[in-house]
Structure 1
Amino acid sequence: MGNTSSMLTQHDIEEVQEHCNNLFSQQEIVSLYERFCQLDKNHGGFISGDEFLTVPEFVVNPLSQRLLRMLDGLNFKDFVAFLAAFSSRATVHQKIEFIFKVYDLDGNGKVTFNDMLDVLRDLAGHFISEQQRKQVLMQVLVEAGYTENSLLVLDDFVKRLSYHSAHSVSLELS
C-alpha cells in the first residue's frame, strides 16, 4: 500500500476499513484508493499540499489553508480516515472531533479565543471587521458560559455541539 501503483489487497482494504471505523464499504475504499492515486502525482504514497491544491472544490473552501495543514503528507490510510468525518455514516461525535481538530491547529488539545477568531476570520473574510468578529465571538462565548481566557478542550466541543445538534443544528459535512 506504500506505493500507489500497486493494487489493494483484500487485507489492505480490511485494514483501511478498520482504520476508519468501518465508515466506508470495500467498494468505497477501492474508489477512494483510485482517487488517492490520481492525486498522488509523483506516486510516492503520500499526497502533498500542492497535490491537494489541484482539487478545485478544495481550493475554494474558505478553510482550505487550515485543512491543508492537516492534510499535507497523508498516506492512503490517513487520507481515508480524514474523509471519514465527511461520511454520512459518521457519528455526531466523530464530526465534532474533526471540527475540533480544525480549530486546534497546533494539536495541543486546547482551543483558545485566538484559535476561534482565526477560524472566524477564515470563514468571514473581509465581510465583517475584526472588531465585529471579536464582538460576535465574545457574545457566543458568554452565552455558552465561557470567557475570552477560556481554553476549550474536546469535551467542551462535544458538550456544546451535541447539545445544539440535538436541538436541530445540522452537522452534516457531506
Structure 2
Amino acid sequence: MGNSSSMLTQYDIEEVQEHCNHTFTQQEIVSLYQRFCQLDRNGCGFISADEFLSVPEFAVNPLSQRLLKMLYGLNFKEFVAFLSAFSPRATVENKIEFIFKVYDTDCNGKVSFNDMLDVLRDLTGQFISEQQREQVLTEVLEEAGYQKDSSLVLSDFKKILGNSGLKMEAEVHLD
C-alpha cells in the first residue's frame, strides 16, 4: 500500500476503512486510491506539494497553503483519513476536529485570536479591511462567551461550532 504502483488488497481496504472510521465505502476507497496514484506521479507513495497544487480546485482554495502543511508527508491511509472530514458520513465532531486543525497551524492544541484572524484573512483577501475582520471576529467570540485574548482549545471549538447550528458539508469528488 505504501508504493502507489501496487494494488490494494481486501485487507488494505478494510484497514483504511477502519483508520478513517468507515466514512468511505470500499468502492470509494478504491476510487481514492486510483486518484492518489494519479497524483503521485513519481510513485513514491506520498503526494508532494506540487502534485497537490496540480489539482485546480485545490490550487485555487484560499486555504491551500494551510492544507498543504497538514497534507505534507501523508501516505495513502493518512490521506484518506484527512479526506474523511469531507465525507457526508463524517460526524459533526470529526468535521469540527478537522477545522480546529486548520486553525491550529503551530499544532500546540490552542487557537488564538491571531490564528483565527489569519484564517479569516486568507478567506476574505482584499474584500474586507483588517479592521472589519477584527471587529467581526471579536463580535463572534464575545457572542460565544470568549474574549479577544482567549485561546480556544478543541472543546471550545466543539462548543462554539456544535451549538451554532451550522451545517458543515463538503464533498470529495472521486473523478
TM-score, normalisation: structure 1:
0.96
Match of 2:53 in 1: 53
Which stretch shows the higher mean deviation, 141-150 or 50-59? 141-150
- State the match for 2:73 in structure 1: 73
Aligned partner of 2:20 in structure 1 is 20
Residue 131 of structure 1: how far off its partner (Å): 1.2
Report the Cα offset of residue 90 of structure 1. 0.4
> Is 1:100 matched with 2:100?
yes
d(CA) in 1 for partners of 2:22, 2:146: 36
Q: Is 2:79 the partner of 1:82?
A: no
3-state SS in 1 of match to 2:86: coil
Which position in structure 2 is the counterpart of 1:173?
170
C-alpha deviation, 1:105, in angstroms: 1.0
- Residue 117 of structure 2 is aligned to residue 117 of structure 1: yes
Determine if contact 1:41/1:51 at 8 Å carries over to the other structure: yes
- Aligned-residue CA RMSD (Å): 0.8
Following TM superposition, by how much is the alpha carbon of 1:116 offset from its aligned partner in structure 2, in angstroms?
A: 0.2
Q: Structure 1 regions of 5+ residues with no counterpart?
A: none
In the alignment, the residues of structure 2 paired with residue 58 and residue 148 of structure 1 have an alpha-carbon distance, to the nearest angstrom, of 31
Give 2:168's aligned amino acid.
L
CA shift for structure 1 position 120 = 0.3
Q: TM-score, normalised by structure 2?
A: 0.95
SS for the counterpart of 1:88 is coil
Deviations 1:47-100 (A, max 9, x none): 111110000000111111111111122100011001100000001001000010
Q: Distance in 1 between matches of 2:143 and 2:33?
A: 44
Point out which structure has higher relative CO (alpha carbons under 8 A, 6+ apart).
2
Structure 1 stretches (4+) deviating beyond 3 angstroms? none
2: CA distance, partners of 1:82 / 1:143: 31
Does the Cα contact within 8 Å between 1:96 and 1:161 map onto a contact in 2? yes
CA contact (8 A) 1:46 1:76 kept: yes
- Mapped to 2, the partners of 1:163 and 1:141 lie a distance apart of 13
Residue in 2 that maps onto 1:39: 39
